[in-house]
Structure 1
Amino acid sequence: MATNTQAPVKALFLDIGGVLLTNGWDRKSRKAAAEKFGLNADEIGDRHRMTFDTYESGKLDLDEYLTRTVFFEDRAFTRQEFKQFMLDQSQPYPEMLNLIRDLKAKHGLKIAVVNNEGRELNEHRIRTFQLGSFVDFFISSCFVHFRKPDADIWKVALDIAQVPREHVVYIDDRPMFVQVAESLGLRGIAHRKYEETRDRLGALGLAL
């Protein structure tokens, strides 16, 4: 679907992991967990792959996910110790957080999160990094029960934002998700580093 590159930007749709914050529970984090807790990384990885989509879709809670992936047998550590390790993997990208806050304040933008994440991790990240202070609404997979790249997740965001798609820019660190958003008529930015994304937004009329 063609996009109108001249239309003024009125809303930003954003991923969280890889854009505003580090990824919440990615391959690197799972490898670190296996090393710290003495787990078989291959076994945990296999169980994760068979389970995580269901967790991110809001159809399992974190305890159920952990029962299937880690605590299917007795462990020398507690669930709470493992959960805390998971939560501690989340770290902010301050420059990106400040950029989005400042652009919203200067240009009166609507800001929406469109992300794949399990409920407990998602809510921890929203609360800990005060994302609700500048994000207007969260279209998270755990809330709407389907995940990117399902096009419906962007359609729900558009319905709630009530902003025509030609006035929306979507930012994600995964190029395929950007391409799906562009196929729906949104403009997309595949985020790699702060300076590049800042300059691309500036070229779209969102300079600070």
Structure 2
Amino acid sequence: MDKNQSTAITTLFLDIGGVLLTNGWDRAARRRAAETFSLDLPETEERHHLTFDTYEEGKLTLDEYLDRTVFYEERSFERQTFKDFMYAQTEAYPDMIDLVCRIKKQYGIKIAIVNNEGRELNEYRIRKFGLDKFVDFFISSCFVHFRKPDADIFRMALDVALVKPEEVLYIDDRAMFVSVAEGLGINGFQHKNFEETSRFLGNLGWQ
């Protein structure tokens, strides 16, 4: 993608975890949970991997996910205590949020989120960190029942935003998901850190 193409870009598709916020419930967070609540980490990880995709697709509630992964046996702590811990794992990347907000304000770019996340975590993170204040569309797996790397989630995002693939720049920290989007003709960029992404966008003419 060269600088001249920036004039054709009308819409940014963004991931949340790893781009605007830290990951919500990743391996490191689950390890901290196992240490904090004295859980059997291998057992918790196995149960997580067997059921989390279904949760992210919006086919399980958070309580149902926890029934299968944590509260399948009696625990010494309350369910709400564990949920509060889950929510507390998220931190913002304020530089990235500010960058996206400035681009939207200055250039009139539409912003859409395309992410994999379960409903309760997704809604908490969106509201807690004010993503709904500048994002136009949320194409979250829990809302649309597709999850990356299924290309249909990107097709749905294109339909909702009413844009052609070549009008979109998609930013994600995972190379595979960027590659899937590029396979549909969407311009892609793998986010690694604020400095590289800021430089890339600046080279496109978005100062």
- Fold match by TM threshold 0.5: yes
Partner residue, 1:147? 147
Check the 8 A contact 1:8/1:205 in 2, yes or no: no
Q: Tell me the alpha carbon deviations over residues 69-108 of structure 1, each in whole angstroms, 9 at most, x when there is no partner.
A: 0000000001000000000001100000000000000000
Q: Determine the C-alpha separation between the residues in 1 that align with 2:126 and 2:59.
A: 20
Q: Tell me the alpha carbon deviations over residues 146-201 of structure 1, each in whole angstroms, 9 at most, x when there is no partner.
A: 10000000011100111221111000000000001011101111000001001111
Q: Does residue 107 of structure 2 align to residue 107 of structure 1?
A: yes
Partner residue, 1:54? 54
Partner residue, 2:162? 162
Q: Determine the C-alpha separation between the residues in 1 that align with 2:127 and 2:133.
A: 10
The 1:5–1:67 alpha-carbon spacing in structure 2 relative to 1, beyond 3 Å, is farther
Q: Determine the C-alpha separation between the residues in 2 that align with 1:142 and 1:63.
A: 15
Instruction: Kindly state the Cα deviation for residue 5 of structure 1 after the two structures are TM-superposed.
Output: 6.6
Matching residue's letter, 1:55: Y
Q: Determine the C-alpha separation between the residues in 1 that align with 2:82 and 2:89.
A: 11
**Runs of 5+ consecutive residues of structure 2 not aligned to the other structure:** none
Partner residue, 1:45? 45
Check the 8 A contact 1:9/1:204 in 2, yes or no: no
What is the count of residue pairs matched by the alignment? 206
The alignment partner of 1:48 has SS state of helix
Q: Determine the C-alpha separation between the residues in 1 that align with 2:196 and 2:160.
A: 29
After TM superposition, the structure 1 = structure 2 runs for residues 1-208 of structure 1, keeping only pairs within 5 Å, are 6=5, 8-207=8-207
The alignment partner of 1:96 has SS state of helix
Superposition misfits of 4+ residues, deviation over 6 angstroms: 2-5
Q: Determine the C-alpha separation between the residues in 2 that align with 1:60 and 1:206.
A: 40
Matching residue's letter, 1:94: P
Identity over the aligned pairs, expressed in percent?
A: 62
Check the 8 A contact 1:3/1:166 in 2, yes or no: no
Q: Determine the C-alpha separation between the residues in 2 that align with 1:202 and 1:3.
A: 11
Q: Tell me the alpha carbon deviations over residues 6-61 of structure 1, each in whole angstroms, 9 at most, x when there is no partner.
A: 25211000000000000000000000000000000000000000000000000000
The alignment partner of 2:46 has SS state of helix
**Runs of 5+ consecutive residues of structure 1 not aligned to the other structure:** none
Matching residue's letter, 2:206: L
Please report the RMSD computed on the Cα atoms of aligned residues, expressed in angstroms.
1.4
